[in-house]
Amino acid sequence: MLSLSLILCVCRSVKRFGMEVKMNITYNQENRVFKLDTPNSSYLMGIVDKEGFLGHIYYGKRLEEDGVAYLMRTQEAPFVPEVNDRERGSFMDSFPMEYPTHGTGDYRQDCLSVRTKDGYNAVQLTYVSHQIYDGKKKLEGLPATFGEETECKTLEIRMEDPILSLEAVLSYSVFADTDAIAGSVRIINHSQEPVWLTKALSGALNLDEGAYDVITLHGGWARERHIVRRPLEAGMAAVYSRRGESGHQEQPFMALCEKTATQETGAVYGMHFVYSGNHLEAAEKNQFFRVRAVMGIYPEDFSWKLLPEESFQTPEMIRVFSCEGLDGMTRAFHTLYRNHLMRGKWLHRKRPILINNWEATYFDFDEQKLLDIAKQASALGIEMLVMDDGWFGNRSSDNMALGDWQVNEQKLKGGLKKLVDEVNALGMQFGIWFEPEMISPDSDLYRAHPDWAIQIPGRRAGLIRNQYVLDISRPEVADYIYECVAKVLRSANIAYVKWDMNRPLSDLGSAALDADRQGELSHRYTLAVYRMQERLITEFPDLLLENCSSGGARFDPGMLYYSPQIWCSDDTDAIERLAIQEGTALLYPLSCMGAHVSDCPNHTVGRTAPFETRGYVALAGTFGYELDVTRIPEADRNSIPGQVRLYHKYNDLVREGEYYRLASYSENRLYDCWEVVSSDKTEALVTYIQVLNVPNRKSRRICLKGLDPQKRYLVEVESPDGEGDAKTAGCFPQGSVLLGSTLMNAGILMESISGDYVGKLIHLTQVQ
Ligand code: GLA
């Protein structure tokens, strides 16, 4: 009776705000089961045994009742310790522990390990109490999802290890508008002694026996986030970064999906880490064929000393369940990030079309060269000039001057303000590049403060791109660098900052940390990046911030909390970008993908693709230019106003609409196709890129997605200049009106285009 009234009371609290109960959290006191509901999924945990272990029961399609605790198999041998204490080990090593810990007989991947002052490492957590409330608390010092009291609910479960006097608070938040669960853990030392956390992961995902594939996003410099799918065999499949950044190599993401899951069908479990430093994603199929995946800060190079009553907050881990294949997972992440992670004035606004001078000039520029670019660009409709690397100190190449953030007035004669004012006078905004976290050995800053670089005393730290990493975990270093950046921003009308980070961390040593705290450096470094960026966007709330890291080495949900856009990759080749942007869009909304049109032959791969195609691919992201507009072929230059028109015509749709993957060049090696549908389903834009032409093919059938089956849509091929010339050939039924259901089931035919690397835009508009 008590449990029923408890459930009712929670449901009522949701209905009080006039909402449908799309999400909910209940605790049934009778069977000691927690049930978390998102609109289409349920996540259940239960307390077992007198000792109070917290087990994972179920994660999948939404359930309408909670009586499924039998799934924990505590009735089957081996019994719970309460009835079979002589075989405790078998229980520990097979029970689906919700937050598994180290050293007491669970030999699978675990989440929490310690070192006590006497050198012991075991932890065992059992249930103490819980709390359910509307809304969600902030995670101190960390990026995290958020939501109003009407938008989300949170469950906090207090667990403890009474021997260590260690408390762990497991938090889970569900949202009314997306099938995502945000989780994190706070660990508190209630003992009289310090304790060192040697592993503090953010959570686990327990799945029953089944045939699963693992999906990760793998890459390298200039080829970030390529989708990799492989079977999960017995043993482990893991990806990680221990570079002090999320990295080019592995996105902090892992999905487990049914072997038979496709783009549109089947069960997919996605896990994404809201963090920008070292990370681990590991899935293990154990001796009973069951699966446990864990996610969190990479435990090697990590330890954290907790003094009495101090706490440690893990970063947040997002779990998503989709029974509609990868498409469903993508939609859940996009909705979560757009509504509950990204912030700031620019989030839902059209961003100015920028032109960046990196590939145009590299280090070889002065104010006149920049003004020449700006004049030409503004006449073509480009709205902002971004001055990239090379404007400060004696930075004439990437060998020197990082840390010397004073304007080089030999290059920029008359100073920065004069240049910015002149660019503003052309009707353009001005943006600037920084790499605040770095220091060149050949810099005034290094000569004055050699100990500010991260290094181990007595060992020459390794250079990468001839630079060291600043120890911004030291407040005086972070404050100094922040002031350098802020001073420049205060000195002129600067609308945009590209915040770069061009090398990973190594030789981890901080002059400011005691011996038993050196393992904290990497995490402290990441927290310092967050602090600095929070400070920046607080002092300059109108600033458009774009994060960057040698292209896309820090493209993660953590950075997304601070900047509404992130530079996707240094590879601006339209064809290479297809796989990069497909992988990125698997998790991230198109509105945050930094994408520019660059010159050909492409500076990274030497390919020449039509200017038109380069435009179509960049239009799927933030859109801008990365070229010397005064020197590109005239025909290309003349195409810019048309591309600008396309951007203005479609950016609201691209930025705010629902993204659908229709075909993948990475899979078929011939063509790529994606679609964006407006949230009211009145409009859609299909981008089709024919990478390679093949003989004897007249047309290719593409079935659309996400339309309203009942609505009628006019199908038109958009022209490259955005004038929407209905006579432009390219697809059947060009100019016709068809029902959404027809377009989704029968599809359209894309005409074969002569040549390679060519594309078309198809625009659909609802007609009455
Ligand atoms: C990184 C960025 C580039 C550019 C250079 C400048 O590689 O990804 O876009 O800003 O640094 O040094």
pLDDT tens-digit profile of 550-602? 999 999 999 999 999 999 999 999 999 999 999 999 999 999 999 999 999 99
CA of 194 relative to ligand 1 center, distance in Å: 43
- CB within 8 Å of 485: residues ≥ 6 apart: 405, 434, 436, 497, 536
Residue with token string 């899935």: 283
Which of 547, 570, 598 for mutating ligand 1's site (highest number of atoms within 8 Å of CB)? 570
Residues 117 and 194: their CA atoms lie apart, in Å, by: 7
Side-chain half-sphere of 647: how many Cα atoms within 13 Å? Answer: 31
Which string of DSSP letters, residue by residue, matches 465-527? TTBEEB-TTSHHHHHHHHHHHHHHHHHTT--EEEE---S---S---TTS-GGGGGGHHHHHHH
Return the bridge partners of 47, or none: 54
727 band by pLDDT with thresholds 50, 70 and 90: low
Q: Between residues 644 and 724, which one has the greater pLDDT?
A: 644
Q: Which of 500, 573, 636, 672 is catalytic?
A: 500
Residue % of the chain over a pLDDT of 90: 94
CA of 551 relative to ligand 1 center, distance in Å: 7
Q: Whose CA is nearest to atom 6 of ligand 1?
A: 389
9 band by pLDDT with thresholds 50, 70 and 90: very low
Q: 159's torsion region: left (phi>0), alpha (psi -120 to 50) or beta?
A: beta
Give the pLDDT confidence score for residue 730 in this predicted structure.
Answer: 87
- CB within 8 Å of 664: residues ≥ 6 apart: 227, 582, 672
Q: 224's torsion region: left (phi>0), alpha (psi -120 to 50) or beta?
A: beta
CA of 625 relative to ligand 1 center, distance in Å: 14
CA of 500 relative to ligand 1 center, distance in Å: 7
Residues 643 and 382: their CA atoms lie apart, in Å, by: 10
Length of the chain (residues):
768
Atom index in ligand 1 nearest the CA of residue 551 equals 8
Mean pLDDT lowest for which of 27-31, 429-433, 730-734?
730-734
CA angle 41, 43, 44 (to 5 degrees): 140
CB-defined site of ligand 1, < 6 Å = 358, 388-389, 398, 433, 500, 502, 548, 550-551, 567, 570
CA of 15 relative to ligand 1 center, distance in Å: 50
- 500 in catalytic set: yes
Which of 362, 502, 568 for mutating ligand 1's site (highest number of atoms within 8 Å of CB)? 502
- Per-residue exposure over 280-294, b if at least 16 CB sit within 10 Å of its own CB, e if not: bbbbbbbeeebbbbb
Tell me the pLDDT tens digit for each residue of 655-696: 999 999 999 999 999 999 999 999 999 999 999 999 999 997
CA of 22 relative to ligand 1 center, distance in Å: 44
Q: Which of 570, 571, 599, 636 is catalytic?
A: 570
- 721 in catalytic set: no
Residues 26 and 6: their CA atoms lie apart, in Å, by: 8
Atom index in ligand 1 nearest the CA of residue 567 equals 8
Q: Whose CA is nearest to atom 2 of ligand 1?
A: 550
Per-residue pLDDT, averaged over 377-388, amounts to 98
Residues 640 and 264: their CA atoms lie apart, in Å, by: 36
**pTM of the full predicted structure?**
0.96
CA angle 553, 556, 557 (to 5 degrees): 165
Q: Whose CA is nearest to atom 7 of ligand 1?
A: 550
Which of 389, 432, 546 for mutating ligand 1's site (highest number of atoms within 8 Å of CB)? 389
